[in-house]
Amino acid sequence: MKRLEPIFEALRARGEAALIAYITAGDPSLERLPDILRLLQDAGVDMVEVGFPFSDPLADGPVIQAAMHRALQAGTTLPRVLETVAAVSPTLQTPLIAFTYYNPVQRYGLGRFAQEAVAAGFTACLMTDLPPDEADEWLPHTQQHSLQPIFLLTPTSTTERIRLVAERGRGFVYCVSRTGVTGARDQLPSDLPELIQRIRQHTTLPIAVGFGVSKPDHVRQIAQIADGAVVGSQLVQYLHEFADSPHWQAAISDYLRGLKAATRR
């Protein structure tokens, strides 16, 4: 089973931060998911968050909400995402992170999901609406099946919450750059370095920054202070915009390669 920490260590040794890409499974289609995953790997993405469509994605902004709606309308379900990922993961070297909400996993069965996610090829799981202090039912299943649990920290997180994420989280700490929902922004918050420094005082886990990251300049700034940058909404938007273009792979690849080049310190 792949683990995420050694990948951050290898990248650090090469003078790079990790480029972590988020996509919504089933948008533009579930059939295209294998091609998208292979494209991300070939373009230099270091880890991929695979979003499981959910009808009430409260942490996500309008771009990802729309992508999840389209995926659900097209018949994308949690079992079908697992099946599709299981079919393609043996051809991939890039670690996959299940990005989901607690409700669909609870309905599916916590233990069943953890077991099947690992069998499908997932290394880790991030549930955006599950704080570490409410994860007592979930964590034993992640330990049993060696699925690394990732938790979020935000600019409003208390020292107690930071310590709890450091204790219970694995893989990396997902640092939300700003309060609010996901979505591309023009600039990163000016107080982001201070937030990263505050988190580092309590954990040796790698820190990846997401929410509002969309440009090479954003990634370049993050690479100087953190261990990884998460790009989601802008990539999801491009996958939608270029869905019917014969040049969609070239357009997405060019965008990602530009972001990856910016991770070099």
Q: Looking at the annotation, which residues are catalytic?
A: 49, 60
Q: Are 32 and 244 in contact (CB under 8 A)?
A: no
Cα dihedral value 110, 114, 119, 123, nearest 10: 160
> Quick check: helix, strand or coil at residue 8?
helix
Structure tokens at 125: 């799981």
Structure tokens at 109: 């069965």
Q: How many CA atoms lie within 13 A of 228 on its CB side?
A: 30
Q: From 236, 230, 240, 225, select the one nearest 46 (Cα to Cα).
A: 230
The sign of the torsion formed by the CA atoms of 195, 197, 200, 205 equals positive
How many residues in total does the chain contain? 265
